[in-house]
Amino acid sequence: MLKIGLTGGIAAGKTTAGNFFAALGAYVIRADDIAHDLMKPGELVYREIVRHFGNEILNADKTVNRSRLAKVAFSLDSSTSASRIEELNQIVHPPVIQKQEQWMKETGERDPRAIAIVEAALILEANLENHFDKLVMVTCRPEQRAERWAAGRKISIKNARLEIARRLAAQWPDEVKIKAADYVINNSGTLEETRRQVSDLYEKLLRIVD
């Protein structure tokens, strides 16, 4: 089995690349989906988040409102932002990593020739690069992040830029991640151009796992 970490900054197109890999036959899991499941009422992570961040981050039905949680954790107030992000990461990261590791183990047992891809934004920031055989970085032009974020969430470009700035404060710059990656996918062009890059890279990965 080949274990691949698929990373990149916010709104760079990690999920798009992951979907293309999955269509080609790779096994793909998203760290964000794992975290979402762990934040459901009744889960330990849910209880810890509410204890640390308060009931104001909850919806009326007691589920976590992730937008409210993000605004609290990814504050633009530099005096509190880093500590709140770290506080959230300490709650969420360990169980998410445990689930990822278990998933890769089970995937390899089912298919020894599997290409197992974990899509996660903070692989390098969390020092998890050694958990993978290869690291793939997805990047795009800065302004495209805001345009895609705004379109996907039906908000203004101005609000999209603010939200992206909030979240990028907790992520390493693209230039640093690109240097650390084994492969880079440039998602600045058309979807077809990204699809071709993914397809070419998948062929290289197949040759490695063989």
Per-position DSSP letters for 16-84, written without gaps between them: HHHHHHHHHT-EEEEHHHHHHHHTSTTSHHHHHHHHHH-GGGB-TTS-B-HHHHHHHHT-S-HHHHHHH
Question: Mean pLDDT, to the nearest integer, of 102-116?
Answer: 97
pTM recorded for the entire structure: 0.91
Q: What pLDDT was estimated at residue 71?
A: 83
Q: What pLDDT was estimated at residue 132?
A: 98
CA distance linking residue 151 with residue 143, whole number of Å = 13
Question: Mean pLDDT, to the nearest integer, of 158-164?
Answer: 85
**Domain coverage including residue 101:** 2-209
Number of domains in the chain: 1
CATH number, residue 102: 3.40.50.300
